[in-house]
Chain A
């Protein structure tokens, strides 16, 4: 199956919604990349913490006060852990 891509727009959402939306997206996707858009550092950190907890590879880009967290999910690695 082709890797998928999901974008979660978590800008302007109160805590803990950004983290929850990110985790929902991670669960919805089998294999691929999740982009989470946030517009405050605290929300971005909570998304990063979720990625760390789930042991997924991630990177953060910052531009003009907004952040994009890129999370990569590999199904096989995921299943190995479950």
Chain B
């Protein structure tokens, strides 16, 4: 199935997703957090009790929607394929590093875009860091970095992540006593469950169709001057900007922005970890959720890494707060950059001559 004008479709999807994100903030999600995969997984990790930061605990139904929206698109367009076996443990570790970096900045690359669209200029620092990290990742790829091929797997393997995620939906609907739900703070700010789920489904569906990726956008610009994915970023930025303006949610500046701090160096470096890790993983946190919905079991391993990374970030006091970064967080960013670079150097596939 070919879409008549893929570039236009990507741009329009981005615009819609940006606009929906701004509406989600209007409807109850935390400021400039209409959509943020890192934040949503962190809250989910807290709800499961993996960390005990009491204001950051909620099973975000958007996450469930992302995966199932992609699954739906995958089946509708016959793109669901069970596959895996491309260094899942390394992907798990990279997932942890990416989350550590994201929680020093306070957001994934989507939130960096949404923050900028809401006037939070720290978003610019975050996007610059993402781009710098992606550039380093692109250099590793040029040198032959490769985590190895994924292989076809029995259909059931591709269902593991979507079914685990469906279990989360059951937990947020039933709300058993052992699941933590924030009573105040960002974790208590959310849309009604079904709206969140619907929003997630739409975004998941569109992200699957457009291959939207917030680290791939930079990578493709650097490696092949391909601007397709960058159009999605621009679309999200513009869509959220227009809606923020019209909803009175736009306020420009560095200081006093929602769930944001202005430790510029660490915002930059934290997001550099995300950019680098995202490129090594073949996709940003959103793309990992989407791929897991398409049957990619390795993306499932990455998601588990992101969840555990969020737990570590809060249990070890690595995560920043609006008050700023923590000493542990700054050390974690350095360690994460070093480890991700080490992985970038260590995993090289000898590129066989192209002749058949």
* Contact in complex: B81, A65 (CB < 8 Å): yes
Write the A1-28 contact mask toward B (1 if CB under 8 angstroms, else 0): 0000111100111111101110111001
* Contact in complex: A16, B224 (CB < 8 Å): yes
Question: B283 an interface residue at 8 Å Cβ cutoff?
Answer: yes
Q: Which of B151, B351, B356 contacts A5 (CB 8 A)?
A: B356
* Contact in complex: B150, A12 (CB < 8 Å): yes
* Contact in complex: A6, B354 (CB < 8 Å): yes
Interface residues of B, CB < 8 Å — how many? 33
Question: B211 an interface residue at 8 Å Cβ cutoff?
Answer: yes
If over half of B's interface residues share one DSSP class (helix, strand or loop), that class is named, otherwise mixed; here it is loop
Chain B residues contacting A21 (CB-CB under 8 Å) are: 351, 354
Chain A interface bracket (under 10, 10 to 19, 20 to 34, 35 or more): 20 to 34
Question: A41 an interface residue at 8 Å Cβ cutoff?
Answer: yes
Question: B263 an interface residue at 8 Å Cβ cutoff?
Answer: no
* A residues adjacent to B (C-beta < 8 A): 5-8, 11-17, 19-21, 23-25, 28-29, 35, 39-42, 45-46, 49-50, 53, 65
* Contact in complex: A16, B220 (CB < 8 Å): yes
Interface residues of B in 214-268 (CB under 8 A from A): 216, 219-220, 223-226, 228
In the A-B complex, the 4 residue pairs with the smallest Cβ-Cβ separation, listed nearest first, are A14-B282, A12-B149, A7-B356, A25-B354
* Contact in complex: A6, B211 (CB < 8 Å): no
Chain A residues contacting B147 (CB-CB under 8 Å) are: 14
A61 to B220, CA, bound (A): 25
* Contact in complex: B224, A19 (CB < 8 Å): yes
- Chain B residue, CB-CB nearest to A14: B282
Q: Which of A17, A40, A49, A65 contacts B228 (CB 8 A)?
A: A49
Chain A residues contacting B213 (CB-CB under 8 Å) are: 15
- Chain B residue, CB-CB nearest to A24: B354
Chain B residues contacting A11 (CB-CB under 8 Å) are: 149
What are 19 A-B residue pairs whose CB atoms fall within 8 Å in the complex? A6-B355, A12-B149, A12-B151, A14-B86, A15-B213, A15-B216, A16-B141, A28-B353, A41-B77, A41-B79, A42-B79, A42-B211, A46-B226, A49-B226, A49-B228, A50-B224, A50-B226, A53-B224, A65-B78
